[in-house]
Amino acid sequence: MASSLESTLTRAWLRRGPLAIALWPLSLLFRLLASLRAGLFRAGVLQSGRLPVPVIVVGNIFIGGTGKTPLTIWLVEQLRAAGLRPGVISRGHGGEGDSGPREVLPESSAREVGDEPLLIAHRTGCPVVVGRRRVDAGRYLLERHPEVNVVVTDDGLQHYALQRDVELVLFDGRGVGNGWTLPAGPLREPPSRRRDFTVVNTPELTPALARAVGGRPYRMQLAGEYAAPLRDAQQRVPLSSLATTMAGKRIVAAAGIGNPGRFFAMLKAAGLAVQELPLPDHHDFLDDPFRGLDADLILITEKDAVKCRQLEHLNNDPRLWVVPVTAQLDAVLAAQIVEKCRGRPTA
């Protein structure tokens, strides 16, 4: 029932149809309350904390997955290339740990710290701390890693209890949907919300899409070039070669991410004929959705792979192969972010 309701709302949020119009009065109330809350933080009525180093927030106003984790990974790598020493904090969505700060360690499980922070830690090797309160998570990160001189917040755009120096708002090809806030539309805040930089995760940034999201957007593309067996990440095979060698075989593509259609489209663009298996975002795989599945090859995302590797029966399934993706953006964006960070004293 929950899945059906989510699907119905997702479709309704892309246009101003009967359901969206019926929910519009509630949308006005939601927008009013969101604006009031943000205003109380700006006025100092609600307390916010500042870290002694620059803070960059990577977030979205469109509910659901838009590609924040790949963007965060790209940003960490760019900051490091510029000579900075980044660390990452996150809410740790999907984790079952307590609400206090917790560092993501090599032996951490996705159930403890969340799948996205675990992926960020694995891909970047930088310090990552999760916690319900971003201020506490940031302070904990700096206490344990005093070398960190810039903090990247994975998500948390609406977490105004943490003051920030740079905000990146990420959209995807859906733009702003019908342009309304929850529950009549998909937006947590109105499209006019201020931000420092706008990024759109899309193969083509059309003028109409650019106008809808505003803010002179930068285009981001997610590129997947190869696949590797889940249990042997070093055995890389280009997707183009995989499409040739697996021609006529039954290939299933599974994705437990916010927008699985984006993953499926990327594989098809690489010439792979796949059967789609969308899974709920942050799926824990304890139910083993692949048991009894008639497939010669199962392609999964990196976000799903960090959980599957921690389940022995899945890690030993030779059909499971991982397709990593890398965010590609204009280097000018990285230079502008670094410039903003250098404009504030660092630790």
The three-class DSSP label of residue 288 is coil
| Rounded (to 5) percent helix, strand, coil in the chain | 35, 20, 45
Picking from 123, 146, 113, 114, the residue whose alpha carbon sits closest to that of residue 77 is: 123
158 backbone dihedrals φ, ψ, rounded to 5°: -90, 5
Q: Is 65 labelled as part of a ligand binding site?
A: yes
Q: Is 244 labelled as part of a ligand binding site?
A: no
Parallel, antiparallel or unpaired: strands 320-323 and 297-301? parallel
The two tokens of residue 271 are 């010439």
Q: Is 66 labelled as part of a ligand binding site?
A: yes
Q: Is 63 labelled as part of a ligand binding site?
A: yes
Q: How many residues does the chain have?
A: 347
Which of 217-227 are b and which e, b meaning 16 or more Cβ less than 10 Å from the residue's Cβ? bbbbbbebebb
Yes or no: say if 88 and 154 are a contact pair by the CB < 8 Å rule.
Answer: yes
CA gap 107, 170 in Å, rounded: 31
Q: Is 263 labelled as part of a ligand binding site?
A: no
- Number of helices followed by number of strands (H, E) in the chain: 12, 15
Q: Is 10 labelled as part of a ligand binding site?
A: no
Yes or no: say if 333 and 242 are a contact pair by the CB < 8 Å rule.
Answer: no
Residue that has been written with the tokens 């995989």 in this structure: 242
The three-class DSSP label of residue 127 is coil
CA gap 23, 41 in Å, rounded: 28
Residue ranges of the annotated binding site are 62-69
Residue ranges of the annotated binding site for ATP are 62-69
